Amino acid sequence: MANKVRYITRLDQIDKLSDQEKRTLGPVAEKFVFKTNDYYMSLIDWDDPEDPIRRIIIPHRRELEMGGSFDPSNEQAFTVLPGLEHKYGSTALMIVSDTCDGICRYCFRKRVFQGSSDERVKDISAVIEYIKEHTEITNVLLTGGDPLCLATDRLTEIVSALRDIEHVEIIRIGSKVPVFNPYMIIEDESFLEMIEKYSLPQKKIYIMTHFSHPRELTDVAAKAITMMQKAGAIITNQCPLIRGVNDNPDVLAELLRKVSFAGAAPYYIFQCRPTIGNEAYIVPVEEAFDIVQLAKQQVSGLAKRFKFVMSHSTGKIEIIGKTDELIYFRYHRAQEEENSCRLLAFRLNPDAAWFDDYDEPVEDYSMDMSSHSCQWS
Residues that bind ligand SF4 (CB under 6 A): 100, 103-104, 107, 109, 144-146, 176, 210
Q: Measured between alpha carbons, how far is residue 137 from residues 88, 93, 256, 333 in Å?
A: 9, 10, 31, 15
CA 364 to the chain's CA centroid: 29
Closest approach of Cβ 319 to ligand SF4, in Å?
20
Cβ nearer to ligand SF4, comparing 51 with 98: 98
Closest approach of Cβ 210 to ligand SF4, in Å?
5
Partners of 319 in beta bridges: 329
Write out the DSSP string of 278-322.
-GGG---HHHHHHHHHHHHTTS-GGGG--EEEEEETTEEEEEEEE
Partners of 117 in beta bridges: none
Cβ nearer to ligand SF4, comparing 172 with 176: 176
Residue 101 DSSP class: S
Cβ nearer to ligand SF4, comparing 2 with 302: 2
Q: Measured between alpha carbons, how far is residue 129 from residues 77, 81, 135, 143 in Å?
A: 20, 11, 11, 19
Cβ nearer to ligand SF4, comparing 158 with 344: 158
Closest CA to 109 of 161, 146, 59, 154: 146
Cβ nearer to ligand SF4, comparing 247 with 330: 247
d(CA 296, CA 246): 13
Closest approach of Cβ 49 to ligand SF4, in Å?
22
Q: H or E stretch including 189?
A: helix 189-198
Contact in structure between 215 and 53 (CB atoms under 8 Å):
yes
Cβ nearer to ligand SF4, comparing 281 with 358: 281
Q: How buried is 122 (Cβ within 10 angstroms: 0-12 exposed, 13-18 middle, 19+ buried)? A: exposed
d(CA 28, CA 25): 5
Closest CA to 49 of 85, 73, 78, 25: 25
Cβ nearer to ligand SF4, comparing 145 with 284: 145
Cβ nearer to ligand SF4, comparing 54 with 176: 176
Closest approach of Cβ 31 to ligand SF4, in Å?
15
φ, ψ for residue 358 (rounded to 5)?
-90, 145
Closest approach of Cβ 103 to ligand SF4, in Å?
5
Closest CA to 337 of 290, 370, 361: 370
Closest approach of Cβ 98 to ligand SF4, in Å?
10
Closest approach of Cβ 320 to ligand SF4, in Å?
25
Closest approach of Cβ 56 to ligand SF4, in Å?
8
Q: What is the largest CA-CA distance in the chain?
A: 66
Cβ nearer to ligand SF4, comparing 214 with 277: 277
CB atoms < 10 A from the CB of 166, how many?
9
d(CA 97, CA 115): 13
Closest approach of Cβ 106 to ligand SF4, in Å?
7
CA 339 to the chain's CA centroid: 23
Cβ nearer to ligand SF4, comparing 111 with 332: 111
Closest approach of Cβ 177 to ligand SF4, in Å?
8
